[in-house]
Structure 1
């Protein structure tokens, strides 16, 4: 016999499933920071060329997970690797601005050079949906020449 309490508990549990499923499809700040640290360490241990190849490999789950991916840039604005948009690699994006005019590349370079690590905020096209969304990216200086970054899409 199904009681009201059992029915209510089951209904609440089923209603929570879509939120749980959505929540697990996007990366968190902590996961972005951890991926950036992995990318930082890999870059320093294996060198620039190996890091670029790994960051650009869509099958390398160390540097790509759900909507999280690594991008790496030289301090002059040259995109070394972009895990979601390979066409950006090899382009100088120092003057790039988001849809609201925020100089995201210059901001990322500034954080890396001045603080070593930190967050920047901007808007970016989601690689799966194509929708322009608010995003925060964790920037981590690798050496005197470059940095790595991993961003999260904000709700």
Structure 2
């Protein structure tokens, strides 16, 4: 039996196709994924401190940034964004009373929920980094000391 390069090339292309699925085929993150990511961040913070967590988020650490799912952090007392992997231009800003596309002051709701209950979900409209469009989003918030970790998913 003779070996033909064309057969090898065809087999190589077929094998590559099996192992490189487009990102669009990746499963969309779930509420469970958002909770797990926020809790992982809380555990990291408790072990390593707030500054170390800020560095992880700012560096887009893959443990805390996975496609449209990511963790960001805000100060519970001032509302100031302390770390945001997707939109670093808002770090250092208090956007508490800046509404979303529908007029909802969701950041105020996040702070109030964190202060009263320590964790929970807040729904709002936000720009999806993977589509570039304003979409409905639900975010799990988790208070860790004087900060709030937030991990949200886009609803389809």
Q: The TM-score by the shorter chain falls in which range? A: 0.7 to 0.9
TM-score by length of 2: 0.81
Of the candidates 23, 39, 47, which is equivalent to residue 49 of structure 2? 47
The answer for the alignment partner of 2:111 in structure 1 is: 109
- State the Cα RMSD in Å: 1.6
Question: Matched residues in 2 for 1:136 and 1:79: separation?
Answer: 18
Larger-Rg structure: 2
Confirm whether residue 67 of structure 1 aligns to residue 68 of structure 2. yes
Unaligned runs of 5+ in 1: 1-20
Question: Matched residues in 1 for 2:107 and 2:96: separation?
Answer: 5
The answer for the alignment partner of 2:139 in structure 1 is: 137
The answer for the alignment partner of 2:86 in structure 1 is: 84
SS, match of residue 35 in structure 1: helix
TM-score by length of 1: 0.81
Of the candidates 32, 35, 38, which is equivalent to residue 34 of structure 2? 32
Question: Matched residues in 2 for 1:44 and 1:92: separation?
Answer: 25
Give the CA deviation at 1:23: 6.2
Question: Matched residues in 2 for 1:57 and 1:123: separation?
Answer: 25
User: Do 2:101 and 2:125's aligned partners in 1 also have CA atoms closer than 8 Å?
Assistant: yes
The answer for the alignment partner of 1:123 in structure 2 is: 125
User: Do 1:35 and 1:62's aligned partners in 2 also have CA atoms closer than 8 Å?
Assistant: yes
User: Do 1:78 and 1:91's aligned partners in 2 also have CA atoms closer than 8 Å?
Assistant: yes
Aligned residue pairs, count: 134
Give the CA deviation at 1:33: 0.4
Give the CA deviation at 1:25: 4.3
User: Do 2:140 and 2:151's aligned partners in 1 also have CA atoms closer than 8 Å?
Assistant: yes
